[in-house]
Amino acid sequence: DQGSVPMRQFKKSSKLDNVLYDVRGPVVDEAARMESQGMRILKLNIGNPAPFGFRTPDEVVQDMRHQLPDCEGYSDSKGLFSARKAIMQYSQIKGLPNVDMDSIYTGNGVSELINLCMQALLDTGDEILIPSPDYPLWTACATLAGGTPVHYICDEQAEWYPDIDDIERKITPRTKAIVIINPNNPTGALYPREVLQQIVDVARKHQLMILSDEIYDRLVMDDLEHVSIASLAPDLFCITFSGLSKSHMIAGYRIGWMVLSGEKYCAQDFILGLNMLSNMRLCSNVPAQSIVQTALWGHQSVRNYVVPGGRVCEQRDYVYKALNDIPGITAVKPRAAFYIFPKIDVKKFNITNDEQFALDLLHEKKILLVPGKGFNWGSPDHFRVVYLPRIEVLSEAMGQLGDFLSHYRQA
Ligand code: PLP
């Protein structure tokens, strides 16, 4: 009698209990459900350039075509010689100290390497400083690895720069590393040299490893310069993460890298751990590695998008003004990447749950935004807008958002 035997339930592992990754969370699921019913959703939620008409440079596609027949086998676990050589030269030009071929690891996007690094670094109870708001993969991977993410505040009043006093306050004897995301997702902030220097000083004082996510380093506007924090810290152990997903509009190819720099003696054992995990995954996607040299040193198409008058820059200017023109919304001007993280007046709109706000907007106006909660932001008063769509689409979205807020939950 099979009916009397309770069906076995397969539960997810308890390792995942506290892992949060909501950029693709409940609001996105609801949007997918609505789409499956035939509704058209205006998506301002994901940093994936390809669907918005941003094309990969032709030479990169041509190179991939040309190389593909030679990419059948595994590569060295850290990556192809040609890719690592190109990344090494790029790193040296950015001033990263003490970088050689051995310092470079390619990955299936920066994502794989963030996970690999957290697994190699953190034991249960080890603390790692991560920004709030953050790109939530950092928090998720630190938690999954058994570590304790400790969030330091980025200050909206100060262009969203990291709050150095808050960083200092949160350091304990268990703090191993500090993560910075520069240029930043979700705020679009670009950190000037002085701020980076202050972070280096704190890291030096407390002997912290510096992990810097710089995947947007070539998407910088307003003629500003991107400075790699590792270039300011030859006496500290740093890891710099970057890749081609955003700079070459090839998020789907899956290619990123990390570069170890500075003082490596103190990290010898950790590096053995990195090597072991790198070997265990055999290697990263070889066809994508094969185009790194051409992409990094070829025609930089992204440059044309971010100069004044370029598409990304114009869309940034448009969305920044349009958001600030909506009563109850204020936003700091982003300087890099393609995100803006506006503040909403929660008192005016009686908002206590940002996810509910995003769902209400989705249901009424069919606009998809990610609530601040998805970026480990502690109050329900922010959301992220991706300004990759063209101005006509952004204009429709901003009009609808203004219309929605003109009556939302007001007495
Ligand atoms: N780091 C940041 C700050 C990101 O915004 C993203 C993607 O949005 C990633 C890493 C992951 O990039 P990849 O495509 O290289 O895995």
Does the residue 135 lie in any domain? yes
Q: Are residues 257 and 314 in the same domain?
A: no
Q: Which of 185, 244, 257 to mutate to test the pocket of ligand 1 (most atoms within 8 A of CB)?
A: 185
Does the residue 62 lie in any domain? no
Per-residue confidence band for 411, with pLDDT thresholds at 50, 70 and 90: low
Which pair of tokens denotes residue 227? 């400075």
How much distance in Å is there from the Cα of 334 to the middle of ligand 1?
Answer: 17
How much distance in Å is there from the Cα of 28 to the middle of ligand 1?
Answer: 18
Does the residue 372 lie in any domain? yes
How much distance in Å is there from the Cα of 110 to the middle of ligand 1?
Answer: 6
How much distance in Å is there from the Cα of 325 to the middle of ligand 1?
Answer: 30
Q: Are residues 76 and 213 in the same domain?
A: yes
How much distance in Å is there from the Cα of 299 to the middle of ligand 1?
Answer: 22
Among residues 219, 210, 255, 232, the alpha carbon closest in space to that of 82 is found at: 255
**CB distance 186 to ligand 1 below 6 Å:** no
Q: Domain end: 245, 263, 297, which one?
A: 297
pLDDT of amino acid 270: 98
Residue 410 has pLDDT above 80, yes or no: no
Residue 225 has pLDDT above 90, yes or no: yes
How much distance in Å is there from the Cα of 188 to the middle of ligand 1?
Answer: 13
pLDDT of amino acid 20: 83
Bond prior to 183 in cis (omega within 30° of 0): yes
Provide the b/e sequence for 176-186 (b: ≥16 CB within 10 Å). Answer: bbbbbbbbbbb
**CB distance 240 to ligand 1 below 6 Å:** no
Q: Of all residues in the chain, what percent carry a pLDDT higher than 70?
A: 98
Contact 410, 349 (CB under 8 A): yes
- Helix residue spans in 171-267 (DSSP H): 193-206
Q: Are residues 290 and 310 in the same domain?
A: no
Average pLDDT of span 229-249: 95
Residue 299 has pLDDT above 80, yes or no: no
Q: Which of 113, 246, 338, 340 to mutate to test the pocket of ligand 1 (most atoms within 8 A of CB)?
A: 246
Per-residue confidence band for 2, with pLDDT thresholds at 50, 70 and 90: low
Atom 13 of ligand 1, residue of closest alpha carbon = 109
Q: Are residues 84 and 216 in the same domain?
A: yes
Q: Are residues 148 and 281 in the same domain?
A: yes
**CA–CA gap between residue 83 and residue 108 (Å, rounded):** 13
Q: Are residues 257 and 320 in the same domain?
A: no
pLDDT of amino acid 301: 66
Residue 114 has pLDDT above 80, yes or no: yes
**CA–CA gap between residue 124 and residue 137 (Å, rounded):** 18
Three-class SS state of 220:
strand
CATH of the domain at 151: 3.40.640.10
Tokens 């008063």 belong to residue = 381
Tokens 């300087």 belong to residue = 335
Beta-strand ranges (E) seen in 51-147 are 104-107, 127-132
How much distance in Å is there from the Cα of 109 to the middle of ligand 1?
Answer: 7
How much distance in Å is there from the Cα of 175 to the middle of ligand 1?
Answer: 24
**CB distance 213 to ligand 1 below 6 Å:** yes
**CB distance 340 to ligand 1 below 6 Å:** no
Residue 72 has pLDDT above 70, yes or no: yes
Q: Are residues 277 and 130 in the same domain?
A: yes
Does the residue 65 lie in any domain? no
How much distance in Å is there from the Cα of 245 to the middle of ligand 1?
Answer: 7
ipTM above 0.90, yes or no: yes
Number of domains in the chain: 2
pLDDT of amino acid 3: 67
Q: Are residues 293 and 331 in the same domain?
A: no
How much distance in Å is there from the Cα of 92 to the middle of ligand 1?
Answer: 22
Among residues 160, 159, 162, the alpha carbon closest in space to that of 197 is found at: 162
**CB distance 108 to ligand 1 below 6 Å:** no
> Residue 329's beta-bridge partner residues?
344
CATH of the domain at 316: 3.90.1150.10
Per-residue confidence band for 300, with pLDDT thresholds at 50, 70 and 90: low
Bond prior to 149 in cis (omega within 30° of 0): no
Q: Which of 56, 105, 110, 187 to mutate to test the pocket of ligand 1 (most atoms within 8 A of CB)?
A: 110
Per-residue confidence band for 22, with pLDDT thresholds at 50, 70 and 90: confident
Q: Which of 245, 250, 254 to mutate to test the pocket of ligand 1 (most atoms within 8 A of CB)?
A: 245
Atom 5 of ligand 1, residue of closest alpha carbon = 185
**CB distance 110 to ligand 1 below 6 Å:** yes
Q: Compare 44 and 24 and report the one with higher pLDDT.
A: 44
Three-class SS state of 149:
strand
Q: Are residues 17 and 90 in the same domain?
A: no
**CA–CA gap between residue 109 and residue 94 (Å, rounded):** 20
Three-class SS state of 297:
helix
What's the angle, vertex CA 289, arms to CA 185 and CA 143, rounded to 5? Answer: 40
Q: Domain end: 278, 297, 316, which one?
A: 297
Q: Are residues 219 and 333 in the same domain?
A: no
Residue 387: which domain range?
A: 2-54+304-405
Average pLDDT of span 50-66: 89
pLDDT of amino acid 350: 92
Torsion of CA 195, 197, 202, 203, to 10 degrees: 120
